[in-house]
Amino acid sequence: MLITPAGLAALPGASVLDVRWRLAGPPGLTSYRERHIPAAVFCDLDTDLAAPPTPPAPGGRHPLPEPAAFQAAMRRLGVSGARPVVVYDDADSTAAARAWWTLRYFGHPDVRVLDGGFRAWTAAGLPVETTAPDVHPGDFTAHPGGMPVLSAEQAGALPANGVLLDARAPERYRGETEPIDPVAGHIPGAVNAPTAANVDASGHFLPPARLKTRFESLGVTPATPTGAYCGSGVTAAHEVLALHLAGVPAALYIGSWSDWITSPDRPIATG
């Protein structure tokens, strides 16, 4: 699921997607235009990896795109089912993990995340480009269901017989602050597991053994029903990737907290 810069440089024929994205900006496209990995194509997290949000309707801030829309986006970016896809962001793989998860959910068999992202690529002294490549349309066909998902009801019930991980920062989990969504707090019974602890200071994922130890300390084992959520299903995809690296299959609540709070009937916990 991960690939090194040297591994990507030696991988022929792969589709490379630049998924640089920051919630508060600047736009990832600006960074892409300044410089990017040769032959990489910019993939917009907000429009290519999510459907338009329709607040206050259910679905959250980054709803799952419809199969036809996602298929059209990936074909426009040159993605084919028969070729590997490598995705990357700036460094910590938060946005890249959303691309990894979405491609896997829609049935792509070979998706890899560039560990350490663009920062690792440039640190290795590998070449960069400033011009966008000519893209030959791909033939990827989207088949939903390749990764497990949780509905709001399933996420709320999971703590009774499994572990539901909240991937947000501790202060947001505790409800002390909420800079993005209109309501603060967390799903009752969820365990806080910030994604920042999945990577080291350089943005590389921790070794699988260390990830396994981390998740075990939170009550997660390969036999434990496990799910993850965040604010809108982006950082939680990073959590799911880290869990997979640790040998733990996990489901994603794609709507996450921004979907949970759309119903006044759903309970909210703080502290």
Question: Any idea which residues carry the catalytic annotation?
Answer: 230
Q: What is the DSSP string of the chain?
A: -EE-HHHHHT-TT-EEEE----TTSS-HHHHHHH-B-TT-EE--HHHHSSPPP-TTSTT-SSPPPPHHHHHHHHHHTT--TTS-EEEE-SSS-HHHHHHHHHHHHTT-S-EEEETTHHHHHHHTT---BSSPPP---------S-SS-B--HHHHHHGGGTSEEEE-S-HHHHTTS--SSSSS--B-TT-EE--GGGGB-TTSPBPPHHHHHHHHHHTT--TTS-EEEE-SSSSHHHHHHHHHHHTT---EE-SSHHHHHTT-TTS--B--
